[in-house]
Structure 1
Amino acid sequence: MAHTRRRQSGARSASRGRRTAAPREPQPGPTLELEVERIAHGGVSVARHEGRVVFVADAIPGERVLAQVVDAGHDRFWRADTLSVLRASTDRREHVWPEASVDREPAQRPGGAEFGHIRLARQRELKAEVLRDALARMGGVEWDVEVLPVRPELAPGVSVDDGTGWRTRVRLHVDAEGAVGPYAARSHTVVHVTSLPLAVPELAELAPLDERFPGARAIDLVAPSSGAAAVVVEGEGRTPRGEPPVIEEVVGDRTFRLDRDGFWQVHRGAAATLTQAVQELVDPDRFDPRAANQDLYGGVGLLAAAVGDRFGAGVRITTVEADVRATEHAGANLAEWVGARAVTARVDRYLDTLLAGSASERAGLHDATIVIDPPRSGAGRDVVDRLAELAPRQLVYVACDPVALARDVGFLAERGYRLEALRAFDLFPNTHHVEAVARLTAIV
């Protein structure tokens, strides 16, 4: 399971204040032989049966599979799990996580490695296809996408051959009997596994897969780049008083402090990869170090530091984050830059404050570069409209969801900004997730 960012998005939830319906129970359907056509967002492939779309898991485009329909409750599409492969793709390989193999009953396959049966190079092609298709459909942009691997020197110890050994954070769950394991794919059922191949070796060795933890809810495994790995048991009792434990993460020559349970990029080489990408995507000809530069959804200051290291100690930049503890760490992590400051605020409300500023204050924003690293749901229409009204010179958008990025690129195009540069990275090998960094500039 890809690490979920524990931050508020800038826009208020549309469901707040409304009564939500009870979850709909899946309706099982028939067993079908399916010709798999193409990949879809979310790690599933697309097939058709009598004109109806079937989203099928654990298949590869070009294959013929026997699949069990697990949800036939939708009028326009069904969902299915592959039971066996009748005609295999040349891109199929032995699954990197044996417990997630198609040979195992679907209900017992752990989630979080949904591309593990696909050759690594083909995984990246499929991720590029999803991003390219999303940009065309939702962003109105035709773009030749290439998904790049993490450079080996940025992620020592990570396998470049099969995409394993990269996760520095793993969450395991605990069932009613105290048994430990990941959730089954698309389920909240805890399944037993004997290995965690995507985890960095120190976590794979520490994982208490054969132990029992009665009364606990979850087990977090954390391996910071500096210091010892830890097993953290999340229990049913009250949270202990006092400040949470702090860890250190090293990126190049720089050290960042953050809470152990705070957000950090999960791939061992992700923080360094994104640091370099942001530094390269900021157009130096458009960058003004004296402008009111911004780092939105800034966490503990990783990308603000990337900008500071690229353009010097005199850079003026404000990092904005809704989480109080993260902002406190950001202030300390950015202390060497005289022009840096850390603000605790929701991004949409912070932008409202900027928009309410004086004409001279607003003028400083017109020359600004704004880095934005929103949660998986993206920035959304409300934040995009506020950004466009501020009219900065350039936006550097870090995205962990291709559909959210494409939607926001479309929103920005409506407000006079065009996609000028894009890089995509395979920060989640053997899953469907992909990270992208884009530069958007005002259309003159």
Structure 2
Amino acid sequence: MGDEIELDITNVAHGGVCVSRYGGRVVFVADTIPGERVLARVTEARKKSFVRASTVRVITASEHRREHVWAAASLDRDPAERAGGAEFGHIDLAEQRRLLASVITDSLRRMAGIEREVVVEAAPGDDECNGLGWRTRISLHTDAAGRVGPYAARTHTVVEVPDYPLAHHEVAMLTLGLPGTVRAGQTLDVIAPSASPPFVAVSEGSRGPQRGAARIRERVGSREFELSKTGFWQVHLAAPDVLTAAVQDAIDPALFDPAADNLDLYGGVGLLAAAVLDRFPGKTRITTVESDVLATECAADNLADSPGAYAQTGRVDRYLANYQRGATPAELARMRAATIILDPPRSGAGGEVCAALISLAPAQLVYVACDPVAFARDAATLTAGGYTLTGMRAFDLFPHTHHVEIVATLVRSDLLGSRSVSAE
């Protein structure tokens, strides 16, 4: 810990760090780019197989290095004082996306044996503003000394910063009045909905923001969605529109049966179920499954204009297990004809859910993923269980960070020749 070593950076790793080797050990290095030589300080050395380090000084710079978009996260600050949340801010946008694409393709190759190239697409307007001003939600913290700000990268240390360049202008303006108005140990969620006034939700310690009946509204195309004030919603202001269109495009219409037992798993407040209903208007049946009671209540209201839409509160693994146990032959037939959307948390759907999907054998899956490694792990399970990855797109919905969104289509392999299926 604390040693400073010179390193040659070879490639990028998942998690916003790059890779080097020193003394026979892998070193994961922050704030650098493949091809660079840097002086780095060891920040974690507890593992025998690898250590972590942060760049202190660039000796040989990459052609893709740029002045950091956020001075508070740049090399001008000591690594312990660098704001977290913009770990790719020193790299030009095009190279950021190339690095993200390489993480996706490498994960699929290593974990699922799938060779597939992908281009990470920009969200509308991001190139024109250099990937700034997109965050409609940020979380800030206060410490015992009364400081207000984000955590330093990979720590729970609060650092003071003069600005928030990734934040939407309404969010950035709200943060200006926060110092002096809060107490130690509070967390501040600063939120600017698209169809409700901006606000700050205050919570104490690590308990998270209080949940309640109060709702806000978000606009996506011609629809408005209600959600609880601190409920989950996509952070990038363009992400709901981008993902709506991507999910609609990812569904193979030749395999879509409106009468099937179509599902929107981890459905939240119904955003992607609405995407399906708008893509196939009329008598489409679809059920959202979501463990959060408040989100399910909002989903029921948001989809109330569609008679075939239902909102079910429950854990996805339990819902699928109960379906399997109680389904009639007719219901199982409707499930085999189904299109299932799944948008799991960062950890992925997991083995139990994937096994249930393989057993139920719906016609097609549209998998929305925010973690390439978790997606690759689930893709390995699903393709081994009889599905084929037929389409995949990736979107840079978190510019200047290592996060990326994937929308993939997996079709039951026996249907690839017929390209049609029916619940009849």
User: What are the superposed Cα offsets for residues 249-269 of structure 1, whole Å, 9 maximum, x if unpaired?
Assistant: 000000000011000000000
1:318 corresponds to: 287
Alignment coverage as a number of residue pairs: 412
Letter in 2 for 1:185: A
Higher relative contact order at CA 8 Å, sep ≥6: structure 1 or structure 2? Answer: 1
Q: Distance in 1 between matches of 2:347 and 2:43?
A: 26
Letter in 2 for 1:363: A
| Residue 365 (str. 1) matches residue 335 (str. 2) | yes
8 Å CA contact retained: 2:366, 2:408? yes
TM-score between the two structures when normalised by the length of structure 1: 0.90
User: What are the superposed Cα offsets for residues 77-107 of structure 1, whole Å, 9 maximum, x if unpaired?
Assistant: 1110100001111100010100100111000
8 Å CA contact retained: 2:201, 2:230? no
Gaps of 5+ in 2: 415-424
The verdict on how the C-alpha distance between 1:301 and 1:406 changes in structure 2, with shifts beyond 3 A counting, is same
Letter in 1 for 2:142: V
Gaps of 5+ in 1: 1-27, 153-157
Q: Distance in 2 between matches of 1:151 and 1:181?
A: 29
1:378 corresponds to: 348
1:257 corresponds to: 226
Identity %: 55
2:140 corresponds to: 172
2:417 corresponds to: none
The verdict on how the C-alpha distance between 1:373 and 1:239 changes in structure 2, with shifts beyond 3 A counting, is closer
215, 220, 224: which one aligns with 2:193: 224
Range moving further from structure 2, 74-83 or 425-434 = 74-83
| Residue 292 (str. 1) matches residue 292 (str. 2) | no
Equivalent runs, 1:19-418 vs 2, <5 Å: 28-152=1-125, 160-207=128-175, 208=177, 210-235=179-204, 243-356=212-325, 357-418=327-388
8 Å CA contact retained: 2:387, 2:413? yes
Q: Distance in 1 between matches of 2:105 and 2:18?
A: 16
Q: Distance in 1 between matches of 2:20 and 2:211?
A: 53
Letter in 1 for 2:169: P
Q: Name segments (4+ residues, structure 1) moved above 6 Å.
A: 236-242
Letter in 2 for 1:70: T
8 Å CA contact retained: 2:211, 2:228? no
1:424 corresponds to: 394
SS in 2 for 1:285: helix
Give the drift of 1:232: 2.1
8 Å CA contact retained: 1:379, 1:408? yes
The verdict on how the C-alpha distance between 1:251 and 1:91 changes in structure 2, with shifts beyond 3 A counting, is same
What RMSD in Å do the two structures reach over aligned CA positions? 1.7
Letter in 2 for 1:426: D
User: What are the superposed Cα offsets for residues 215-272 of structure 1, whole Å, 9 maximum, x if unpaired?
Assistant: 4511110000012111222236999999432110000000000011000000000000
Range moving further from structure 2, 32-41 or 229-238 = 229-238
The verdict on how the C-alpha distance between 1:300 and 1:240 changes in structure 2, with shifts beyond 3 A counting, is closer
Q: Distance in 2 between matches of 1:389 and 1:417?
A: 11
User: What are the superposed Cα offsets for residues 32-87 of structure 1, whole Å, 9 maximum, x if unpaired?
Assistant: 11000000000000011122111000000000000011112211111101000011
The verdict on how the C-alpha distance between 1:194 and 1:362 changes in structure 2, with shifts beyond 3 A counting, is same
